[in-house]
Amino acid sequence: MREGELDRLQRAVERLMAGQREALGVIDQKAEDQEVEYQEASAQETLAEVQDILSGAYDDARAILRIDAGGGGA
């Protein structure tokens, strides 16, 4: 594996890990902040926020790895 490929792979993994860490932080914060009566609406908002975070991390990782929308590689 070439050094440039290894660097891109490392950056992609770091971005995915950062996205997961951020998503888990959102879940933890919402769980601590919400009272029982508001949990259902809050859960839907939290899921939407987590989906946005993870989707962004996924898209960033694909861009770093230069993977096109059709699933092809670099």
Q: HSE, CB side, 13 Å, CA atoms: give it for residue 34.
A: 17
pLDDT value of residue 35 = 59
Does residue 71 form part of some domain?
no
Low-confidence residues in the chain, pLDDT < 70: 34-40, 68-74
Identify the pLDDT of residue 27: 82
Residue of 69, 62, 70 whose CA lies nearest to 8: 62
Question: Where do we find the tokens 């991390």?
Answer: 57
Owning domain of residue 49: 3-64
First to last CA, the chain: 13
Task: Decide if 45 contacts 68 (C-beta within 8 A).
Answer: no
- Is residue 34 in some structural domain? yes
Domain assignment of residue 21, yes or no: yes
Residue 70 lies in a domain: no
Residue 74 lies in a domain: no
Total count of domains within the chain: 1
